[in-house]
Amino acid sequence: MSSTTFRDSTVVIIETSRTSIRAGIGLHDLLRLPTVDIPARVGLRRSLVAQNGQDGPSTSKAPPSAKVTDYLVGSQLDEALATEQDIKIYWPFADGDVTDFTQAEALWKHILFNQLGLRRAQMESPVMLSIMAGLSRDASERICQIFFERFNVAGFAILERPMAQFYAVISGMQLSGLVVDIDVDYTDVTPIADGFPVHLARTSVPIGLNDCLAYLAHLFRSNTSVMSTLSPAENPLSEEALQDTLLALARHVWENGLIKALAEGEAARDLEDEGVTDIAAIVVAGKERAVIESNMKKRQNAKAQPAEAARAREMEALDLVTTEFRGKEVTVGKERHRFCEPLFDPTLLDGISAVKKKDPMDLQRPLQTAVGEAVLKTDIDQRAYIWQGLFVTGAITNHIKGLGAALSGRVSPYILSTADPMNNEVQPRSVKTLRVPDYFAEYRDKGDGLAGFLGTSIIAKLSFNDSGGKNYVAKADYANKGPRAVLGMSPSLL
């Protein structure tokens, strides 16, 4: 067993999700943000694909003859796509597994040697890799082999990503909870009991950030102000250009933090309820500034004459916001707060052409249903503790706060359904939501979507400073035991 310890400055963190990879080198008392954040995709020139007669869907397996050096990654791939070269795109982790190890190796190699600037011959760095839960033992061994034999790392450990995300938010002795990871196209739900993922209870739903963007773009079509600004009658956009523009606006509104997650029963009421029938009329009349600025004048309004105060409340109720988008001032209304609705009611996506069809369709169900069913698959005496640690994370949460509270209000039927009059001491009575603590200063204003990288950094600091070497594989361990060493010497695989 290794007794090696490593300098914090040499430790490498790599967080691998379905659709992105974040990385950084060096651990500090103040845990830092990732310095690398790239899409988890590779490209292969179409000519190489055609030569092998394998020119199917973008996520299909690449030609077996493809080498690591054949793949375009990072900025090289971005440049090829920008110049409209004929490139086939692959996402080797998108299915929640490693579908192609050569593609995975190309990505990790790019991170280590291109992005982080390490040198294979002088490699002194250990690597803590967080990756999706539930990988087979063979896959874990294969990954370990890649990092030692292809990258020459000084030490290596695998951490299951839901555990990394959970470690970022737990405190004290709380070792049970529930991680809901909302990615681009899928949402993964992982119950955790006594410090370990409950693999038999894990589930996924084929709904994610892209579906929410498509839904908001669809809602914008009913906003006459938005439509007249982006596609004026005298110079209308083509349908394809309009759809792309609306999707871009939806992303812009999300990225600028203009959306809030609505609690169950709370809806963006129709403007007709406020006595207004047309946002465009407000905009044309030049009143949208007054509506928006009223939010900044609440204190003055409190002292204003009753009639003025009533008018200010009326304007504030419209909840309009103007944002600069592609050189234009675009005013959007309450519909933006409906962004997250498809997560809780997937039927809203029916008939929206921009929504990507995903399989298996039998997994498509409301997020609260998936969460409730996942917890019901755990032992009854674990459920009360699991419900005390609900954590919603993923890319969507970087710009939207309150998703945990919005979800917790919708899972109450599943808490009640677990009631057992004969075992009241284990009956859950409430849901507690978690968030990244404020004392992680660099993460304070970044939302909860970076929890995976933060948690991986925390465990790396603990593991690679352990003189007993029980939670990572050193070179000596690999030399003695080979790739199987990772099965007994990683935080998640013990």
- Tokens for 19, please give them: 């659709």
Amino acid identity at 254? W
- Tokens for 169, please give them: 């938010």
Confidence at residue 29, expressed as pLDDT on a 0 to 100 scale: 77
Query: Residue 390 forms beta bridges with which residues?
Result: 178, 433
Q: Is the dihedral of CA 254, 259, 265, 269 positive or negative?
A: negative
Amino acid identity at 241? A
Q: Is the dihedral of CA 360, 410, 209, 157 positive or negative?
A: negative
Which position has the token pair 């519909």?
A: 335
Confidence at residue 62, expressed as pLDDT on a 0 to 100 scale: 73
CA-wise closest residue to 318 among 343, 340, 285: 285
Question: Under a CB-based contact definition with an 8 Å cutoff, are residues 326 and 250 in contact?
Answer: no
Question: Under a CB-based contact definition with an 8 Å cutoff, are residues 322 and 330 in contact?
Answer: yes
Question: Under a CB-based contact definition with an 8 Å cutoff, are residues 142 and 486 in contact?
Answer: no
Radius of gyration of the chain, Cα coordinates, nearest whole angstrom: 25
Which backbone phi and psi does 164 adopt, to 5 degrees? Answer: -60, -45
Confidence at residue 5, expressed as pLDDT on a 0 to 100 scale: 73
Confidence at residue 63, expressed as pLDDT on a 0 to 100 scale: 75
Confidence at residue 419, expressed as pLDDT on a 0 to 100 scale: 47
Q: Are strands 36-39 and 42-45 parallel, antiparallel or unpaired?
A: unpaired
CB atoms near residue 367 (< 10 Å): 25
Domains of the chain listed by start with CATH number: 8-38+96-169+440-488 (3.30.420.40), 41-90 (no CATH), 177-206+358-426 (3.30.420.40), 218-344 (no CATH)
Q: What is the pTM of this model?
A: 0.87
Confidence at residue 466, expressed as pLDDT on a 0 to 100 scale: 76
Confidence at residue 270, expressed as pLDDT on a 0 to 100 scale: 43
CA-wise closest residue to 449 among 405, 406, 391, 492: 391
Give 14's contacts (C-beta < 8 A, 6+ positions apart).
21, 22, 23, 108, 111, 127, 128, 129, 130, 456
* C-alpha to C-alpha distance for 283 and 391, rounded to whole angstroms: 40
Question: Under a CB-based contact definition with an 8 Å cutoff, are residues 155 and 6 in contact?
Answer: yes
Tens-digit pLDDT string for the chain (494 aa): 455 678 899 999 999 999 999 999 999 877 899 999 999 999 999 888 766 555 554 445 677 788 999 999 999 999 999 999 999 999 999 999 999 999 999 999 999 999 999 999 999 999 999 999 999 999 999 999 999 999 999 999 999 999 999 999 987 778 899 999 999 999 999 999 999 999 999 999 999 999 999 999 999 999 999 999 999 999 999 999 999 999 999 999 999 999 999 888 775 444 334 333 354 554 545 555 555 555 555 555 555 567 666 655 655 667 889 999 999 999 999 999 999 999 999 999 998 988 888 766 666 899 999 999 999 999 999 999 999 999 999 999 999 989 999 999 999 888 865 545 545 555 667 899 999 999 998 998 898 999 999 999 999 999 998 767 688 999 999 999 999 999 988 886 54
* C-alpha to C-alpha distance for 387 and 178, rounded to whole angstroms: 7
3-state secondary structure the chain: CCCCCCCHHHCEEEEECCCEEEEEECCCCCCCCCCEEEECCEEEEHHHHHHCCCCCCCCCCCCCCCCHHHCECCHHHHHHHHCCCCEEEECCCCCCCCCCHHHHHHHHHHHHHHHCCCCHHHCCCEEEEEECCCCCHHHHHHHHHHHHHHCCCCEEEEEEHHHHHHHCCCCCCCCCEEEEEECCCCEEEEEEECCEECHHHCEEECCCHHHHHHHHHHHHCCCHHHHHHHCCCCCCCCHHHHHHHHHHHHHHHHHCCCCCCCCCCCCCCCHHHHCCCCHHHHHHCCCHHHHHHHHHCHHHHHCCCHHHHHHHHHHHHHCCEEEEECCEEEEECHHHHHCCHHHHCHHHHCCCCCCCCCCCHHHCCCHHHHHHHHHHCCCHHHHHHHHHHEEEECHHHHCCCCHHHHHHCCCHHHHHHCCCCCCHHHCCCCCCECCCCCCCHHHCCCCCCCHHHHHHHHHHHHHCCCCCCCCCEEHHHHHHHHHHHHHHCCCCCC
Amino acid identity at 170? I
Confidence at residue 114, expressed as pLDDT on a 0 to 100 scale: 96
Question: Under a CB-based contact definition with an 8 Å cutoff, are residues 136 and 102 in contact?
Answer: no
Vertex 320: Cα angle to 315 and 326 (nearest 5) = 150
Question: Under a CB-based contact definition with an 8 Å cutoff, are residues 43 and 72 in contact?
Answer: yes
